[in-house]
Amino acid sequence: MKERTRFAPSPTGMLHIGGLRTALYAFYLARQTGGSFVLRIEDTDQARSVEGGIENIVKTLHRVGADPDEGFSYVDGELIERGDLGPYQQSKRLDLYRKYALKLVDDGNAHYCFCSRERLDEIRKAQQKAKQQPKYDRHCCDLEKEDIEQKLASDTPYVIRMKVPEGKSKIQDMIRGEVVIDHSEVDDQVILKSDGFPTYHLAVVVDDHFMEITTVIRGEEWLPSTPKHLILFNMLGWDAPKFAHVPLLLNPDKSKLSKRQGDVAAESYLDRGYVPEAIVNFVSTLGYNPTADREIYEPDEFIDLFNLSKVKKSGAVVNFEKLDWMNKQYMMEMDTDELKNRLKPFLNGDEGDVDRIIEVEKSRQNTLVDLASSIAPFKKLQDYDAHILIWKKSDGETAVDMLKEAREYIDGLDRLDDIVLLEASMKQWIKEQGIQTGDILWPLRVALSGSERSPSPFEYIYVIGKTEALYRIDNAINKLKGGS
Ligand code: GLU
């Protein structure tokens, strides 16, 4: 069956890791079945909407390759809205929600409520004191028709509330199995607010119906609301979609993943040099693994193998070290040209030839940002203190002698284009000379890199070439002799 799925975020800022996971799962299911992935913007709570909020979400989805087919999408660098069932932004669909709120009233399934905020606060406090679940007390449920008309005529502020019937809702959740919620636990939810906006609960039902959504995939925090939605679907005489509630993401200390414990905005990981494939892999496998025999999947494999019933029911711990590891796996697999391309946004543009640097550094760096910053020491020798040239078991004089020996050896080399050969023959030569490895390789490496901690001298020679290597060695000898 062709599935129509949707991702329905509120435009309240950045797209978080958890939201991205939900979006990806909806994207996979739609793509796997040849259906459509819809991006709908839920902005009924206008106070929470932020400037650029829609664009942030859509752009992040685009950057990770999960462009929606319908609703909002990013095409040729531009934010567009497409699809025949639009508008796909709830604040532009107010008449539709109002129509169904009034229909629910007409059918006796909802009612006007004129209770003041003060009254509602009072009953809530009293219920809390009596250790009861805070719920509407149905004060306005059975008002006389004339009373209602008179209040409406005099512009008394009102909301519309649904009348939750007695009984139970059975949710056949595709991840959690059957979940039964007794309606005694479900409040008479406001469905239309006094400002004329619907609440999320009415809007989500109307939209999922008219947008022909077949499976709703969303965060577990919405599970307690699902009975309200099922009741509304039923009252309106519509078939409900299937549901899958994706478990929460947790910090390593098992608390709910939050901004306070580090960065959770998906886009910031892209900006910090994680490749989209690794982010997709990392986020998709939080509490889910398509085959359980490996951890690395190409984005298309997630589509082919996607299976909601394999998503774990318990909360998934987010461990960003794993993202470093995954990113490294992807970077190591990429060839130099590919990596060079990916590196572009992270470079100043005047680095010149970086091929050999990428070759020697790619298996060592976790991110593109790290890889980009590994370039500078190769390109330009930083100033350093002469004393770091001296190996701990050695002295300055030895360091000078050794650098001179090394200089002569390197000057005599004719092949510097094969790093394996370079390393093997130089080590062989050191052995033949009866020199202590550390005595020569330490000062040589520091001379070439300008740093105590750096890649090997062989990698430096391979990358910077003979002339630059000899220049750096001369510079080191000068330093040790007390020159500049
Ligand atoms: N607008 C809700 C949110 O921001 C969407 C919930 C749903 O997918 O039904 O998470």
Is the pLDDT at 98 greater than 80? The verdict is: yes
Strands (E), 96-193: 110-113, 159-162, 168-173, 177-182, 190-192
Burial class (CB in 10 A: 0-12, 13-18, 19+), 29: buried
pLDDT at 386: 95
In the chain, the domains with their CATH numbers are 4-90+249-316 (3.40.50.620), 93-246 (3.40.50.620), 335-378 (no CATH), 386-480 (1.10.10.350)
Please write the tens of the pLDDT for every residue from 443-477: 999 999 999 999 999 999 999 999 999 999 999 99
Across the range 135-146, mean pLDDT stands at 94
Active-site choice (99, 168, 256, 259): 259
Please write the tens of the pLDDT for every residue from 355-396: 999 999 999 999 999 999 999 999 999 999 999 999 988 899
pLDDT at 257: 86
Beta-strand pair 4-7/215-219: parallel
CA of 219 to the centre of ligand 1 (A): 8
* Ligand 1 near 18 CB (within 6 A): no
Residue type, 261: Q
CA of 133 to the centre of ligand 1 (A): 24
Burial class (CB in 10 A: 0-12, 13-18, 19+), 165: exposed
Angle of helix 226-235 relative to helix 200-210, nearest 10 degrees, comes to 60
259 labelled catalytic: yes
Atom of ligand 1 nearest to the CA of 42: 1
Q: Which two tokens stand for residue 236?
A: 């309106």
* Ligand 1 near 42 CB (within 6 A): yes
* Ligand 1 near 192 CB (within 6 A): no
Does this model's pTM top 0.95? My answer is no
Lowest mean pLDDT among 46-55, 94-103, 186-195: 46-55
CA of 59 to the centre of ligand 1 (A): 18
State percent of the chain over pLDDT 90.
Answer: 91
* Ligand 1 near 222 CB (within 6 A): yes
Pocket test for ligand 1, best of 17, 218, 223, 229 (most atoms within 8 A of CB): 218
Please write the tens of the pLDDT for every residue from 338-363: 999 999 999 988 888 999 999 999 99
pLDDT at 415: 86
Report the alpha-carbon distance of residue 88 to residue 72 in Å, rounded.
Answer: 7
Pocket test for ligand 1, best of 39, 56, 91, 200 (most atoms within 8 A of CB): 200
* Ligand 1 near 245 CB (within 6 A): no
CA of 298 to the centre of ligand 1 (A): 28
pLDDT at 393: 82
Number of helices followed by number of strands (H, E) in the chain:
19, 13
Is the pLDDT at 32 greater than 80? The verdict is: yes
CA of 9 to the centre of ligand 1 (A): 5
Atom of ligand 1 nearest to the CA of 204: 9
Residue type, 9: P
Is the pLDDT at 261 greater than 70? The verdict is: no
* Ligand 1 near 9 CB (within 6 A): yes
Please write the tens of the pLDDT for every residue from 159-217: 999 999 999 999 999 999 999 999 999 999 999 999 999 999 999 999 999 999 999 99
Pocket test for ligand 1, best of 12, 39, 204 (most atoms within 8 A of CB): 204
* Ligand 1 near 5 CB (within 6 A): no
CA of 34 to the centre of ligand 1 (A): 24
Is the pLDDT at 144 greater than 90? The verdict is: yes
pLDDT at 78: 92
Distances (CA, A) of 389 to 175, 368, 410, 478: 61, 30, 18, 11
* Ligand 1 near 23 CB (within 6 A): no
